[in-house]
Structure 1
Amino acid sequence: MTAVEGRHASHFPCSSRDRQYSSSIMCSIDRLLQKDVRLGLRPIPHFHFSAMASSLLYYLLLFFLLLSTNVSGHRHHSHHRRAPVLPGDGGDVSAAINLACRASRFPDLCESALSSLSSSLPPNPAPADLILAALAASSDGTKTARATAEDILGASASDLNRTAAARNCLEFLYLADHRVGVASSALSAGDLAGARLFTGAVALHQYDCWSAYKYVSDTQQVVDAMAFLSDLANVTGSAASMIAALQRYGANTSLWAPPQTERDGYWPDVAAATPPPEGFGAGVAGSCFSGNPDATVCKEGGEGCDFTTVQSAVDAAPVNSQQRHVIYIKEGVYEETVRVPLEKPNLAFVGDGMGKTVITGSLNADTPGVSTYNTATVGVLGDGFMARYLTFENTAGPDAHQAVAFRSASDQSILESVEFLGHQDTLYAHSLRQFYNTCRIAGTVDFIFGNSATVFHDCLLVILPRQLNPEKGESNTVTAHGRTDPAQPTGFVFERCTVNGSEEYMRLYRSKPAVHQVYLGRPWKEYSRTVFINSHLTEIVRPEGWMPWKNDFALATLYYGESGSDGPGANVATRVPWSSQIPAEHLGVYSVENFIQGNRWI
């Protein structure tokens, strides 16, 4: 893997009326589709690039000085107003900045950025004022980065890879610009968890842009853009760290310190009413979806069909609707690339069953001008996405490297009884909050990856043969989580899942088990976080459990936890020393309710 991301339908009782859409559409979406739609978003990366970052700090400071007047002039917007629910604790502006920036892992950069905005701050700034100022700086910095990406795109007509990188950057920075407004609004409303989540998403997309440039950094213009983005993302990350400190210590900024993780012995307070393990999967069991689909897709067309492609049904869906829009996709193999844009929230794909309704593609990262992010057969940005009873597939094959079947940056997305088929990088759980229930996910290397906060409940994780000549053996990893900053509340939680091999893989494994090695995960980024709870680990899981990425990278900062699993691969006595057993009293941290606030939207 490389670095480069109307629930109020017409109500009818579930009856024979529904059978006109096929037997499997009846009751196809449960009460999840009937609740009021709630929109939201998520947190993320840090990365340190000492070479150009220090040289660009001066220019970044000049940038913030230039934009401070603009920030002051826009304080009437909702994402710049003060949050009265978060009072300050006194002191002048410079002292307040100094104390608040103690929460940052980059205190000097944080102080420089906020000091340049001091004229826009009130005399006695509350913590929220300082965080909002940092978010305002991030927003304006994002706009500057977008303008630079436009310039790079214009200068790269003869370079296919640089053109693709610039286009990806424009998408990432568009998303960052959107998320920063949501983060600011959440903070102003006193929603600290949401503000932290969304602030991390802003930094993630800024990092994504940096990462896209990393492979085409053959011009000074791109090098300078990367240096600017590195500092900008760290300013945004400082805002996330300040929100984390506000959550932990309260408004007394003299107590603030950089964020810590489970590896440091820090466990956040959780709702006492959530008893592990019963808290996992709460609200999953659904009831019938009462109503007809809003659109029907049929491979061959015909009576009762509105569209012959999934993308055309998505294109016709309402823009920025707060109502659930259900697209029923009849049985068939749909060979197409599907994109659900940010402006199309609350879409639901419902098929006729795994293996019956199949959306398939074959894009892979070995193709010039195609990054891992672009390889997805189905890519979703619109929040509140749902899918049920279908298969997402990438057929690129085991020798094609990165080839994504499904990518989601959709906050509060739910996928149930969905199959994901691929090899390397099958499921890109890119960002924000996601929930997968009773799904089947198959692949070889890092086949579940990303930097989202995701819970996988009762899912089957299937290892496939990795190579064209698999008899010689291989090392496969189920996960590669990409958390880059301890302020990000992201991670992968697997609860009541099973890790097993396909029939072909099991035949190979049993013929020569020593050369066919399966690990639960490896750390893609420095603060990678993955836990397996109450799961079944078959004999293919190595006794060590977890695999390093390279040498000792991230081994002191990651968190890989286990609790209550069974099966021959679940013997914790032989685990690597840098993995952990989750204390029983802290299991509630990883419940659906606490980890992804699922009780609000599932």
Structure 2
Amino acid sequence: MAFGGGNDGGNGKKKKVAIMGASALILVAMVVAVAVGVHKGGSDDDDHSSSGSISTSSKAVKQICAPTDYRETCETSLSSVNSTDPKELIKAGFQVAVQHLRVAIENSTTLKELAKDPRANQALSNCEELMDYAIDDIQDSFNRLGAFDISKLEEYVEDLKVWLGGAVTYEQTCLDGFENTTGDAGDRMKAILKTAQELTSNGLAMVTEIYNVLNSNLNLPNAPSTPNPPHRRLLNEEETPSWVNDGKRKLLAASPADLKPDVVVAKDGSGKYKTVNEALKDIPKYGNNTFVIYIKAGVYEETVIIDKTMTHVMMIGDGPTKSVITGSKNYVDGTLTFKTATVTIIGGNFTAKDMGFENSAGPEKHQAVALRVQSDLSLFYNCRMDGYQDTLYTHAHRQFYRDCTITGTIDFIFGDAGAVFQNCQMIVRKPLDNQNCIVTAQGRSDRRTPSAIILQNCTISGDPLYMPVKDVNKAYLGRPWKEFSRTIIMQSQIDDIIQPDGWLPWAGTFAINSCFYTEFNNRGAGADMSKRVKWKGIKTITPQHAVDFTPGRFLGGDRWIKATGIPYVSGMINV
């Protein structure tokens, strides 16, 4: 379908009509089951053909589904809809998508009763939770319809891509849980999820494609900020958080002495509570105002979950090595990776400052997460994440880390979020005798998901205990966990602990051609790229392309990071 011609040579009215027509199509792409069709070579007149073999509504469905990766699934999902109205198609597609995910939840419960493998049983429980998150993301996308404004198209579509990408991630995480399990539960769940995964992928693909077409054909300007649905609400420039003294606008510049927190946690009894978990009961559900938990110096041995109802929570400590939440859940002792996290952050718009998160299980316990984050628009400033294998799980959505330290051994920063690390330290620790070390393992399973691990002006170095064994237990920048794994390391200091070949395969040739790995303007003995692996997936980018991976561009950071006042550079850094 053409969108109003190749340039502005017509008139403003034609362009307005083109935008309005495109807007209607975009509405269709909001939901998982519906894909917006950019029908190349066709025309609007085709929709009104008098052909008796195919009804008008069927033609509309075919046109909508034409560009999808799973066209038959798309057409089948809408086959009973007798309408060309985009809103009706939205409703139908939304209902089908949610229905398939709810069927997956119901079947996971049934399969649990049959699964004899304890790990498979755990995986099924996790699938129930993950499908619930996927439904939430789809519904958030659907709810965005009410606030639609064509002038804010860019931000609108980026939100949709992030949330639909989140649904893709959760579906994949469900299936990942069945690795190394016995019985047929994993295969059965894969079959149950097949249609839901295809619908999600189609929706994400078309949201991406329609925006690309509109952007190139209509030369749409960058969009300003627009409010999100209630539990996705951003902090606007004009707002001042209620807890900041004297109307200070800089959220994270205040010292503990200046704070007026909502609740204080202190092991010595000087606060309202002695544990972090006790403080969570004070958090209002789906709050839009920043709720501040001040955690005084101390080591808090507990498992903490900021659940999806706990939005706009801020956790502030006395320092990343002073206020520490620690735990030791791990894979070897029977817990799947997804649930090993000492601290799990789910509710949107989470912020942490001067906090430490630790998993103390040790290298012999293998996967043991210190911090798992799926909170959209989450910030971590001057925090520390300590562990060994799988320390920091950047699970989903948009995340920004500034002046943080992450330590570990194998894949110690992993996940499928859009995660930017600016001015952070990655410290490789001493692993077991037979282990190598890998800094990143990015998990993008769909090439259109707007996710990546991005290190900007960071330092990759070795712990003193690791240095004597660095030539035996070799360290690498990353390896491709999923087919479209994407990692960008730029403007960073890479010490000589990183092997000359730089990147490590996951298994054989898996994903070495489809991944996207690049290094740009790095420094240090480990930054020499002359002996790097020669995979097709190793890319060389231009300075203009590198800007696309800065937090202002990649995360839309000027709309939500800048307002907090934390140290933040939107674009490239002068180093």
Name the counterpart of 2:447: 486
Alignment partner of 2:319 out of 334, 340, 353? 353
What is the aligned counterpart of 2:520 among 563, 584, 588? 563
| Percent of aligned pairs sharing the same letter | 31
Q: 1:350 to 1:488 in 2, by over 3 A?
A: same
Change (3 A) 1:79 1:565: closer
1:169 aligns with 2:127: yes
SS of 1:492's partner is: strand
Shift of 1:508: 2.9
Partner residue, 1:52: none
Residues 39-91 of structure 1: per-residue CA shift (max 9 Å, x gap):
xxxxxxxxxxxxxxxxxxxxxxxxxxxxxxxxxxxx9xx989x999x999562
Match of 2:541 in 1: 582
Give a deviation string over 1:88-128, Cα, whole Å, max 9, x none: 956243334334334322233333333x3433xx33x55x8
More displaced stretch, 500-509 vs 130-139: 130-139
* Aligned position for 1:321: 287
Q: What SS does the aligned partner of 2:522 have? A: coil
Partners of 2:215 and 2:539 lie apart in 1 by 32
Alignment partner of 2:467 out of 506, 521, 542: 506
Q: What secondary structure is seen at the aligned counterpart in 2 of 1:569?
A: helix
Q: Please, which of 355, 367, 381 is the counterpart of residue 416 of structure 1?
A: 381
8 Å contact kept, 1:79–1:185: no
Partner of residue 239 from structure 1, selected from 195, 203, 216: 203
The answer to whether residue 64 in structure 2 is matched with residue 112 in structure 1 is no
Q: What's the offset of the Cα at 1:392? A: 0.4
Q: Does residue 201 in structure 1 map to residue 166 in structure 2?
A: yes
Once the two structures are superposed, the pairs formed by residues 284-303 of structure 1 within 5 Å of their partners are 287-288=253-254, 291-302=259-270
Residues 403-412 or 105-114, more deviating: 105-114
Q: Compute the TM-score of the two structures, normalised by the length of structure 1.
A: 0.74
Q: Is the 8 A contact 2:431 2:473 kept in 1?
A: no
> Take 1:551 and 1:573, find their aligned partners in 2: how far apart are those partners?
23
Which amino acid letter does the alignment assign opposite residue 195 of structure 2? D
Letter in 2 for 1:452: A
Deviation at 1:307, TM superposition (A): 0.7
1:285 and 1:325 map into 2 onto residues whose CA distance is 12
1:177 Cα shift?
A: 1.5
Shift of 1:353: 0.6
| 1:149-188 mapped onto 2 (5 Å cutoff) | 149-155=108-114, 160-186=118-144
CA contact (8 A) 1:179 1:201 kept: yes
**Does the CA-based 8 Å contact 1:384-1:413 persist in structure 2?**
yes
Residues 130 and 487 (structure 1 numbering): CA distance in 2 closer, same or farther, change over 3 Å? farther
Please list, as runs of the form range in 1=range in 2, the aligned pairs for 1:373-452 lying within 5 A after superposition: 373-452=338-417
| CA drift at 1:135 | 3.9
Matched, 1:229 2:188: no
Structure 2 Cα separation of the partners of residues 531 and 481 of structure 1: 10
Partner SS, residue 404 of structure 1: coil
Q: Secondary structure at the match of 1:446?
A: coil
**Number of positions where the alignment pairs a residue of Structure 1 with one of Structure 2:** 483
Over 3 Å counting, the alpha-carbon distance change for 1:95 and 1:130 in structure 2 is same
Higher mean Cα deviation, 86-95 or 144-153? 86-95
Secondary structure (helix, strand or coil) at the match of 2:530 reads helix
How big is each residue's C-alpha offset from its partner over 1:217-248, in whole Å with a ceiling of 9 and x where there is no partner? 624x6643320202211211111101111111
* CA shift digits 1:504-545 (9 cap, x unpaired): 112333xxx3x2321110000000000011000111111111
| One-letter amino acid of the counterpart of residue 81, structure 2 | S
2:101 matched to which residue of 1? 142
Structure 1 residues 522 and 83, CA, compared in 2 at 3 Å: closer, same or farther? closer
CA separation in 2, counterparts of 1:352 and 1:474?
35
Tell me if the contact between 1:203 and 1:234 (Cα under 8 Å) persists in the aligned partners. no
SS in 2 for 1:118: coil
Partner of residue 495 from structure 1, selected from 433, 456, 460: 456
Distance 1:79 1:430, change over 3 A: closer
CA 102–552 in structure 1, closer or farther in 2 if over 3 Å, else same? farther
State the AA in 2 paired with 1:149: S
In 1: Cα distance, 2:180 partner to 2:67 partner? 32
**Is 1:334 paired with 2:300?**
yes
Q: Distance in 2 between matches of 1:134 and 1:415?
A: 37
Alignment of 1:255-270 (within 5 A): none
Q: Displacement, 1:287?
A: 3.7
Change (3 A) 1:148 1:363: same
Per-residue Cα deviation, 1:274-299 (whole angstroms, up to 9, x for no partner): xxxxxxxxx99964376401111111
3-state SS, counterpart of residue 573 of structure 1:
coil
- Say if 2:81 and 2:89, in contact at 8 Å, map to a contact too: no
Deviation at 1:560, TM superposition (A): 0.3
Shift of 1:572: 1.9
- What letter is aligned with 1:348? M
Give the structure 2 partner of residue 534 of structure 1.
Answer: 491
Aligned pair in 2 of structure 1 residues 199, 328: CA closer, same or farther (>3 Å)? Answer: same
Alignment of 1:600 onto 2:564: no
**Aligned partners of 1:152 and 1:222 also within 8 Å:** no
SS in 2 for 1:489: coil
1:311 matched to 2:277? The reply is: yes
**Gap change, CA 1:288 and 1:300, over 3 Å in 2:** closer
Question: Kindly tell me: are residues 272 and 100 of structure 1, through their superposed partners in 2, closer, same or farther at Cα, counting changes over 3 Å?
Answer: closer
Name the SS for the 2:467 alignment partner. Answer: helix
**Structure 1 contact 187–195 (Cα < 8 Å) conserved:** no
Distance 1:464 1:270 in 2: 46
Unaligned runs of 5+ in 1: 1-74, 256-267, 274-282
Contact 1:270 1:594 (8 Å CA) reproduced: no
Aligned AA (1:477): I
Q: Is the 8 A contact 2:35 2:202 kept in 1?
A: no
Structure 2 unpaired stretches of 5+: 1-26, 48-55, 150-155, 225-248, 562-575
Equivalent-residue separation in structure 1 for 2:284 and 2:302 (angstroms): 21
